[in-house]
Amino acid sequence: MKNCTTYKRLVAKTVVISLLTSLAVAFLYGIYIKKRAVDDLARVDARKTSRLAFEALYSAMEKGWSKKELDSIIVRLNEVEPQMKINAYRSPIVAELFGDHGNDKQMRENDPMVAKAMRGEDILTGDDEIRYLYPIVVKKECVACHTNAKIGDINGVIDVRFPVANLKISLTTMINSFIVFFIAFTIIIFAVLYYKLNELLVQPIKQFIMMIQDIITNNDMAKRISLKTKIMEVKNIENYFNKMLDSIQDYYEKLQELSDRDYLTGLYNRRKFEEFLTYEVKRSVRHRHKFTILMIDLDNFKYINDTYGHASGDLVLKEVTKIFSSNLRNVDILARIGGDEFAVILPETPYENGHAVVEKLRASLEATPISLMYDQVSLTASFGIAEYPEQGENIESLLAGSDLAMYKAKRAGKNTIARADQSDQEIASEIQKKGEFLRRAIDEDRVEPFVQPIYNVKSGEIYGYEVLARIRDGQRYMAAGQFIEVAESLGFASKIDQIILTKGLSAREERGMWNKRFFFNLSTKSLFSGEYVDVIKEHYAKNPNGEENGVTIEILEREAIHNVNGLMDIIEEMRQVGISFALDDFGSGFSSFVYLKYFDTDFLKIDGEFVKNIAVNEKDRIFVKHINQIAQEFEKKTIAEYVEDAETLDILKEIGVDYAQGFHYGRPHQL
């Protein structure tokens, strides 16, 4: 930017140059006009004056005046205009007859202009003083007196001198001249400005637009703008636009990486994996190769998350990535396609070779312990294999086949390898049937709310009810454990939540159970949909006691970890309208106590796995005791699950747990 100038400076520079040029041209043109006018006027005036002088002298000569009288005429002519000088010089022809007068001979011999005029040329010369020499040509009437002359000879010269200052220039001439000049000059100035602005502004901007169009058309973020300009502002546009392109390119590359890669492990994601799989199918069709794809699901990964926390779970996923990567070729494609699911493409690898690779992966994973805090864990995985083209000739069938094979390996006892065959289609058909069953149950209004009572441990009175989902199938009812997993995977869970909430609140209204608290299990996905606040507010508005309370939403801690900040906002918003919250299955995960810091809940539901054995397992009793103690310090009420006998209830009373539910109090039933 050393040779650049600002646009303001360019305009100022152009104006100054134009002004100076205008003054210079006007000055030069004025001199030219002056000289041209002076020359023209001098010639006209000199000729007129010379002619008048000649006519006066000729008239006197016709009357026979003497030399003295002729001289007096010249004197009188000079007196008319004091600053003008008129002289008459005789030629040799006149001098021969009448003799020279004064310095005639000297002027003829020493003044070259007089000598030249004696040869018949009229002469105009001078800058500060105009001198015009007018030759007197012999005419027919002159021959009578000048007998030695013939027509056309020169009898003498009239010499007229006058100062330039006495000349008057025509106003019309001056005005017309300057009008023409300024019109022409203005056209030239605008032409120059147009050329310079076009060169310095228009062309760079046009070039800038064309480059932007090229970048947009080709989606080429690597290109940079380079403008030919000396204007600093335009150059700054170039520089800042290029910096913006740098930022966009960096963001685009990061976005591209995020769109292709899993943020945690750095492996390809499902979208990119399917893109590679599509390419591999086309390549194998062209070259008639076989290849193998693997679906891998880590066994019991939920236990690691629940026991050690999700941060440790993330660490395990990274370590598993290293183990798998170290046992694959560079040409093999490894991807993370789900929470604890991986997929692999083995190009140009038939089933037999692919099986050997999978066995290597399985054995390596099993034999490599992973350090977590002060413990070491050994992982296993279930592997499903599908071969192209035996298990499918397109990506849909290959993915379905490998998924079925992996599910088959899970059902076979985990830590094993399976290949999908015809019988496995029954598994897929079973899942599809369950999905169709759920859809029909929702459409036919067969989703029903059941309730299980929650008792006050000290008073022995019913405090409230937990509302549970059931599906009516003929004469029997299916518990949530029989369909909830399929419902979540197929996207029916939120709809079921909505039905149970609406029907449960309606039953509370119809039976006038305003003094009993109702607990609902809603998934966090349902909470984020934001549809339930208005439903509960309308329910509260129907309370004849005018109280806005009585509804508690239970949150599973394993679901809460996925969006802590968002869930905190939702809890705060819903608490403002009288909705309370409970942390369900508290203590099942290593990070349970951390949630007390973030979630402002009213209840802790102690995981039933601890509660049901407190009568025979001292460690479980210690867990329950300390959970209850911490809850009291945080001013939260505790609810013990899985209370199945009187002995367990007595221990809970001794510990000081507030509420309890379980088969000892009552099984779930219809309202």
User: How far is the C-alpha of 263 from the C-alpha of 355, rounded, in Å?
Assistant: 29
Which DSSP string corresponds to 446-474? -EEEEEEEEEETTT--EEEEEEEEEEEET
pLDDT(33) > 80: no
Distances (CA, A) of 25 to 18, 29, 31, 50, 258: 10, 6, 10, 36, 68
Judged by average pLDDT, the poorest of 182-186, 241-245, 248-252 is 248-252
Which DSSP string corresponds to 572-636? HHHHTTTEEEEEEEETSSTTHHHHHHH---SEEEE-HHHHTTTTT-HHHHHHHHHHHHHHHHTT-
| Peptide bond connecting 389 to the previous residue in cis, omega within 30 degrees of 0 | yes
Output Rg (C-alpha) for the chain, integer angstroms: 57
Give the model's confidence band at 171: pLDDT under 50 very low, under 70 low, under 90 confident, else very high.
very low
pLDDT(297) > 80: yes
pLDDT at 589: 54
The 10 Å CB-count burial string (b at 16+, else e) for 75-87 is eebeeeeeebbbb
- Which pTM was predicted? 0.45
The dihedrals phi and psi of 531, each to the nearest 5 degrees, come to: -90, -10
pLDDT(339) > 50: yes
pLDDT at 552: 92
Average pLDDT, stretch 607-619?
88
**Helix 301-308 crosses helix 310-326 at what angle (to 10 degrees)?**
140
pLDDT(548) > 60: yes
pLDDT(147) > 70: yes
Tokens 């992973």 belong to: 370
DSSP state of 142: G
The 10 Å CB-count burial string (b at 16+, else e) for 481-493 is eebbebbeebebb
Q: What is the pLDDT of residues 475-529, one digit of tens each?
A: 889 888 778 777 776 778 888 988 999 999 999 999 999 999 999 988 776 776 6
Tokens 């027919």 belong to: 140
Give the model's confidence band at 15: pLDDT under 50 very low, under 70 low, under 90 confident, else very high.
low
User: How far is the C-alpha of 397 from the C-alpha of 132, rounded, in Å?
Assistant: 116
* Percent of residues, the chain, with pLDDT higher than 70: 77
Which residue type sits at 258?
L
pLDDT at 590: 46
User: How far is the C-alpha of 204 from the C-alpha of 190, rounded, in Å?
Assistant: 20
SS3 (DSSP) at 87? strand
Helices (H), 476-523: 484-490, 493-510
What is the enclosing helix (H) or strand (E) of 669?
Answer: strand 669-670
Give the model's confidence band at 203: pLDDT under 50 very low, under 70 low, under 90 confident, else very high.
confident
Q: How many CB atoms lie within 10 A of CB 638?
A: 25
The larger pLDDT score, comparing residue 215 to residue 432, is at 215
What value, to the nearest 5°, has the Cα angle with vertex 23 and ends 21 and 27?
A: 115
DSSP state of 666: -
SS3 (DSSP) at 449? strand
SS3 (DSSP) at 226? coil
